[in-house]
C-alpha cells in the first residue's frame, strides 16, 4: 500500500516539475530547468525500477538513488526561488512535496533494511 502511495506521489511530483520546466523555458531559463527536469522525474523512475528489483539490495539501492535525486531536486528548487524564477507559494508547494517524498523514501528504505535483519 505504501509503495503505491509513493509511486502516485512521485508521478504527481514529476508532472508538477515538468509543468515548471515548461514555464522556465518560456522565461528562457535553460540550465537549471534541464537539471531539475532530469532529477525531478528521475525520482519516480527509480521508484518504478525498484518495483522490479533483483533482490532486496537492488530494491534498496534504487530507492536510495530516488532519495538522492529528490535531494538534488530540492537544491534546484531553492536556487530557482532565490533567483526569483518561482514565487514563494510555488516554492513552498513544490518544496513541501519534495520533502514529503524524501520522508517517504527514507521510511521505505529503513523498513526494507529492517526486514532483512
Confidence band of 116 (pLDDT split at 50, 70, 90): low
Grid coordinates representing 4?
503505491
54-82 pLDDT tens trace: 999 999 999 999 999 999 999 999 999 99
Tens digits of residue pLDDT in 46-56: 999 999 999 99
pLDDT value at position 3? 66
Q: How many alpha carbons lie under 13 Å from residue 109 in its C-beta half-sphere?
A: 18
> Where along the chain do its domains lie?
2-115
Instruction: Decide if 6 contacts 111 (C-beta within 8 A).
Output: no
CATH of domain 2-115: 1.20.1440.60
- Could you tell me the pTM of the whole model? 0.93
Q: What angle do CA 2, 34, 45 make, to 5 degrees?
A: 25
Q: Tell me how far apart the alpha carbons of residues 13 and 84 are, in angstroms, rounded to a whole number.
A: 21
Amino acid at each position: 500500500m505504501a509503495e503505491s502511495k509513493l509511486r502516485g506521489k512521485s508521478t504527481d511530483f514529476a508532472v508538477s516539475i515538468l509543468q515548471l520546466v515548461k514555464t522556465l523555458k518560456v522565461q528562457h531559463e535553460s540550465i537549471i530547468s534541464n537539471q531539475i527536469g532530469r532529477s525531478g522525474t528521475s525520482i519516480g523512475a527509480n521508484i518504478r525500477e525498484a518495483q522490479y528489483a533483483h533482490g532486496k539490495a537492488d530494491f534498496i539501492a534504487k530507492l536510495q538513488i530516488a532519495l538522492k535525486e529528490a535531494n538534488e531536486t530540492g537544491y534546484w528548487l531553492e536556487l530557482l526561488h532565490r533567483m526569483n524564477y518561482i514565487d514563494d507559494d510555488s516554492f513552498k508547494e513544490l518544496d513541501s512535496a519534495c520533502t514529503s517524498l524524501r520522508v517517504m523514501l527514507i521510511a521505505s528504505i529503513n523498513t526494507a533494511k529492517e526486514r532483512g535483519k
